[in-house]
Amino acid sequence: KQEVTQIPAALSVPEGENLVLNCSFTDSAIYNLQWFRQDPGKGLTSLLLIQSSQREQTSGRLNASLDKSSGRSTLYIAASQPGDSATYLCAVERSSWGKLQFGSGTQVVVTP
Amino acid sequence: DAGVIQSPRHEVTEMGQEVTLRCKPISGHDYLFWYRQTMMRGLELLIYFNNNVPIDDSGMPEDRFSAKMPNASFSTLKIQPSEPRDSAVYFCASSPPGNEKLFFGSGTQLSVL
């Protein structure tokens, strides 16, 4: 059974620092991995999607890497801003389309 | 585009009552998903549809839960009868053809007293 873990559960950094968020999964036979952002009382917003054949994806200040063999993904957010404060979740897609398994998330606070 | 639209945003009901949650996916999207989020269990996939057809409902917790998608622009998740342990945020999400990215609605906060 696939398990997805995100450590730490919470993180606080001063504005301008780079953020490093970790995601680990137990079964390397994944179809893809997605990173989401969730703001309080809101739905999830997809940030980056990495196919199983890819090693990384980039969008603006965000960069996500994937190492299937070690069961790890890392989300980097460069030069953090208070607007980056949110909960970040990773999710792995198993063999079937759409069957995402989510981690429990890392709650990030960026202080001015 | 208005995004995925869910209604109601909040629902408070008493144990034993029927609850119906509604979702309008993004136009042109052919996959629709229902997820449930709780503090204890995180986000769980309940059921998903492709072209209005249920593909996998193995996440539906009990027979009290049912979901329908009568057409490409509307889906419902029904709980009958509701129980306090059903209290959670229920999310609907959709994705377009050939793209695994999910687009989530804002969710329905359900409280069963």
pLDDT digits (tens, 9 = 90+) for B37-84: 999 999 999 999 999 999 999 999 889 999 999 999 999 999 999 999
C-beta atoms of B56 and A96 within 8 A? yes
What's the pLDDT at B25?
97
Query: Which of A42, A96, A102 lies nearest to residue B43, judging by beta carbons?
Result: A102
Residue of A nearest to B98 (CA): A97
The whole-chain average pLDDT of chain B stands at: 94
Which residue out of A94, A99, A101, A107 would a mutagenesis test of the B interface target, given it has the greatest number of B Cβ atoms within 10 Å? A99
CA proximity to B28, closest of B1, B53, B47: B1
Query: For residue A54, which residues of chain B lie inside 8 Å, CB to CB?
Result: none
Going by the DSSP 8-state scheme, the letter that residue B72 receives in this structure is: T
What does the pLDDT read at residue B1?
A: 63
Residue A97 is predicted with a pLDDT of 65
Judge whether B107 is closer than 8 Å to chain A, CB to CB. yes
> Closest chain A residue to B92 measured between Cα atoms?
A43
Report d(CA A37, CA B18) in Å as an integer: 32
Q: What pLDDT, in 10s, does the model give residues A16-39? A: 999 999 999 998 888 899 999 999
A49-84 pLDDT, tens per residue? Answer: 999 899 999 999 999 999 999 999 999 999 999 999
Residue A9 has pLDDT above 70, yes or no: yes
Contact A42 B102 (CB under 8 A): no
Higher confidence at residue B99 or residue B13?
B13
pLDDT of residue A94: 78
Q: List the structure tokens of A9.
A: 């559960």
Closest CA to B113 of B84, B86, B89, B88: B84
Question: How does A42-51 read in b/e, with b if 16+ C-beta sit within 10 Å?
Answer: ebbebbbbbe
The pLDDT-based confidence of B100 (bands split at 50, 70, 90) is: confident
Question: Contact B45/A99, CB-based, under 8 Å?
Answer: yes
Among chain A residues, the shortest Cα distance to B90 is held by A43
Interchain contact B12–A (C-beta under 8 A): no
What is the β-pairing status of strands B74-79 and A72-77?
unpaired
